[in-house]
Structure 1
Amino acid sequence: MKHRIRVSAVTLALLAGVSQAQALELDGISVSRDIPCKGEDVSITGNGNQFRLSGECGQVEVHGSEQVIVLVDAKGVEITGIANQVQAERIDQLDVSGGGHRVEASLRGEPERAAPVAVYGADNILTLGFDGPANVDISGSGHQLEWHGDEPQITTSGSDHQIERR
């Protein structure tokens, strides 16, 4: 009898793992789509795609080149590759690496947790609004940051950065 109880507990644990949501994976070349997030994480790869993500998203990852992504709300956005464009109305954190990206976003921080922003690589252009505390770390070369809203804590390393309050 004890053996059957253990098997049932293991089976339930496995079923619980299977029922967890997988990331929504979007891939292609020159694809254009509107996609509801429904709270899911989203992984975008490829070249030259245009995706509009509606609703609340989990973590959004943008990899590849020349992607154009518009989203309303996400827990976080990670951008890698070359020359991607991302516009986000509300996000909790931002991580940008690679080069030539253009990012417009509003970040929300909480008194107990500043919104983290990390920018690495070269020649990324960011226009950011801050609602609440934020920590911005800029490394590499030639990044441009134009910001408005609450003043973030900004640290820099590297060279040729332009940082301006709007």
Structure 2
Amino acid sequence: MLRLLPLTLAAVLAQAGLAQAGALKIQGVGISRDVECEGRDVGIYGAENEIALTGRCDVITMHGSGHTVSFKEGAGLSVSGVDNTVTGGRVRDITVSVTRNAVTATLVGGEQPGRLNTSGSDNRVSLVLSGPTQLRVTGADHTVEWARAEGAPSPEVTASGVKNVIKRKREAARPTP
């Protein structure tokens, strides 16, 4: 029995290390936290959570209502639910579904284009496009506004549904000399 104790302890510690390296899950109502991503997937579930994600995240998934989330960088962002607000940095893939969600981010493309997929109704997306990008908008009453970073091409746009607005952001008026 005593011979097995070190092996058992090592197995438990290895499991704890593996769990720490896995996805981060934040679930509840009214939670307010700063979270270091450290390259991991992050799941945010429930309602009215205020989460600030720092560092580089892998895939960020949000389900629920009334969340306010900020992030610096992620491989992907998926927002599903009602009345969620996301303010972000750079991300390669964005999915926004259900209704009344607001997302602001930089959509990054490279060898593969950055992608936005929006479905449901009445979602608001504001993007800076960095590199080649594809915008796919389905559903009703969405507003997708975009601006190009220097050197970025215009996006490839696919749209279907009713009363969707997909447009380039107006540039701020420049003062006359």
Give the corresponding residue for 1:137. Answer: 136
Length-normalised TM-score, structure 2: 0.81
Distance in 2 separating the partners of 1:19 and 1:50: 27
Cα deviation, 1:141-163, whole Å, max 9, x if unaligned, reads: 00001100031101100010112
- Corresponding letter in the other structure for 1:159: V
Cα deviation, 1:89-133, whole Å, max 9, x if unaligned, reads: 1111101111000000001100x2001110000000010110000
Aligned positions of 1:72-111 closer than 5 A: 72-110=72-110
Length-normalised TM-score, structure 1: 0.87
Distance in 2 separating the partners of 1:87 and 1:161: 22
Over aligned residue pairs, what C-alpha RMSD do you find? 1.5
SS of residue matched to 1:63: strand
SS of residue matched to 2:65: coil
SS of residue matched to 1:34: strand
SS of residue matched to 2:163: coil
Q: How many residues align?
A: 150
Give the corresponding residue for 2:22. Answer: 22
- Corresponding letter in the other structure for 2:139: G
Distance in 1 separating the partners of 2:168 and 2:58: 29
Give the corresponding residue for 1:41. Answer: 41
Give the corresponding residue for 2:146. Answer: 147
Q: CA deviation at 1:19?
A: 3.5
Moved over 4 A (4+): none
Distance in 2 separating the partners of 1:30 and 1:50: 7
Aligned-residue identity in percent: 32
Distance in 2 separating the partners of 1:159 and 1:129: 24
Give the corresponding residue for 2:9. Answer: none
SS of residue matched to 1:94: strand
Distance in 1 separating the partners of 2:70 and 2:163: 28
Aligned positions of 1:60-71 closer than 5 A: 60-71=60-71
Distance in 1 separating the partners of 2:57 and 2:74: 4
Distance in 1 separating the partners of 2:76 and 2:27: 19
Give the corresponding residue for 2:113. Answer: 114
- Corresponding letter in the other structure for 2:83: A
Gaps of 5+ in 2: 1-13, 170-177
